[in-house]
Structure formats: structure tokens, C-alpha cells
Structure 1
Amino acid sequence: MADKPKQQRQQEPQQSVLGKALVTGFTAGILWSGLGAIAYYFHFSEVSAASFIFRSFWQTDWTGTWLAEVLAILFVGLLSLGSALLYYFTLKNKNGIWPGVFFGLALWSIVYFVLTPLFPAIPSFLELNSDTWVTTGCLFILYGVFIGYSISYEYREFNETANSYSNEGRV
């Protein structure tokens, strides 16, 4: 009975840590931009994913619909693959919550201070209200922690499992 977990691990196909990081990134993008859409709907924020992606470039009626919001959320999920790769290649071996917090804050700063001029439908940072600052800041922090903790955990688990398999024959 003690060998059952070992057998189970050997039978399950090992998904690479990079593959899990990509799944984590896509999931995080959909989850947190979806929560951002809810925050926008309840007026906690003046911006949403559709504001950035669609309303900045097309001034049509459909960009104010839920279809545009859902498409924007899916697009953010795809963009989030890039940030998951960035975290994977730079911070995957960092443990704890703080690397994710700083990663989320860095992304928030890039989006609201560097990229905002590229999106004409979004007011400048100083024109946004404090509710938007706090709400989006918290969402980006949670996004960063979700990505960071998940990727670091998978990386650590993969390395511990690989080390335990290599040490089994040395007893």
C-alpha cells in the first residue's frame, strides 16, 4: 500500500512545468480580468478589459456589450500567457508571496503608466478615481500572486519529485 502513490505518479504522464505555467497564465488572465469586469459593472473601477482592448480602437455600439467584455477577457487570457512566461523565466525559483506581489505591482505600473497613452479610451492615471486605482491595483496584485505562487509551487514540486526519484536508487 505504501507503493501506491509512487506507482500512481509513474503512471500519470508528467506535464512539464512550462506547460503548467502556460495553463496557469491563461487561467489567471481569464479569472482576474473576469473579476475586473465585475468590478467595472459594479462601478468599483472606471476601466475594464474591453475598455483597453476594444473601446480604444473602435467606437461602435457592440464594444459596450457583454460580448465585447467576454472577448476581451479571452484576449487577456491569451496575453497572460506572455506574463506567465516572463514569470517562469525570471522568478520561478523564488518562494513565497512577495515575488508575486511585486510582479503584480510591476505589471500594474506598466499598464497604467507606460501603456495607457496607447489606449485613447482610457483616461490618464491622474484622471482616474481612487476607487479605480485601489481596485485595479488589488486585482493586479492578486493576479501576480496567483501566477507567482502557482508557478513557483509547480517548479518546486517538479524538482522535489525529480530529486526523490533520483535518490531512491542510492539508499
Structure 2
Amino acid sequence: MRYRKKNKEPIGQVMIPKVISIGFFGGFIWSLIASITAFFNFTSVSPKTFILRSWLQTEWTDHWLGQLISIIILSLLSILLALLYYVTFKKIQGIWAGIMIGFVLWFIAFWLLEPIFPNIPAFYMLDSDTVVTTLCLFILYSVFISYSISFAYSQQLKDENTG
């Protein structure tokens, strides 16, 4: 186990709070942007379409409260993805890992998990605006997560070696 020189804490213990905050805020920011793109009809799906409307067909889920609850749930789920990224890909520098992970996440959400979300049209029924917008959002989200975590990890190693 690698330790920091100053206070002898393992690097993982220093990085985990950073990874959690990167995951939460990444999920919050990009879910909020996804909600805005749905509001302006750039896409026919929004966070509430995935999280709440697929299982609950009550009226409140179609309003701002449903969107807010969905954004918070996606932010919490994003923490898990950030932790998984930290464990597996933290040493990879650059944006290419994030781009590839964004493609994979989009494929999982819109192709593999499509039967779980009955409120989402099948992939071949989605309009091109929805496909392009959601694919770009997934890529931007995962680039944000991957670049932020790999940057924080490299900075932590740099601080350890200099300090």
C-alpha cells in the first residue's frame, strides 16, 4: 500500500472523498444538462424518463419534482460509477478512455437495458436528435468523470513524490 509522506495516510483514503465528490457533481451537472436538453426538445428522453417514469405513471413524476428526484438519484448512482472508474482506470491519462466509456454507457442504457425501461422507445424508434444528443451527453459525462479522476490521481502522486 502506498502512503503519503506527510501524514502517513494511504493514497486511497485521500482520493476516495475526491472520487465521491467528482462522481456526485458529475452526475448532478450532466443530469441537469440532460433535463435542460429535454426541456428544449433536443431529446425525447430525460432523467425522469429513465428513473421514475419507467416504473411510476403518477402525475407528479412528470413535473419538476420528478425531474429533481431523478437528478439526485442519478447523482448518487454516478458515485458508484466514479468509484468503479477509480478502481479500474485511474492511471489512464487523456480523454479517450472517457469517450470509450461514454459509448459503452450509452450502449448499455439504450440497447442492453432497453427492456427494463418500458417508457423509452426502442433504439431503432428514437429520432436522430435524441440519439445524437444523448450520445454526446453520455460522452461528455464520462469524459468529465474520467479526466477529473485521472487528473486528481496524478496530482496526488505528484504531491506524494514532491512532498
TM-score, normalization by structure 1: 0.86
Shift of 1:18: 1.9
Aligned to 1:135: 133
Aligned to 1:99: 97
Q: Distance in 2 between matches of 1:30 and 1:126?
A: 28
CA deviation vs aligned residue, 1:33-86 (integer Å, no higher than 9, x gap) = 110000001111010110111111111111110110011000000010111011
1:45 partner SS: coil
Shift of 1:117: 1.0
2:56 partner SS: coil
Q: 1:114 is matched with which residue: 108, 112, 121?
A: 112
Q: Distance in 1 between matches of 2:120 and 2:67?
A: 15
CA deviation vs aligned residue, 1:123-144 (integer Å, no higher than 9, x gap) = 1111111100000000011001
Task: Supply the AA of the counterpart residue of 2:158.
Answer: E
Aligned to 1:68: 66
Q: Distance in 1 between matches of 2:144 and 2:136?
A: 12
Shift of 1:103: 1.2
Aligned to 2:75: 77
* Pairing 1:17–2:38 present: no
Matches within 5 A, 1:155-170: 155-165=153-163
Shift of 1:162: 0.5
TM-score, normalization by structure 2: 0.91
- Over the aligned positions, Cα root-mean-square deviation in angstroms equals 1.7
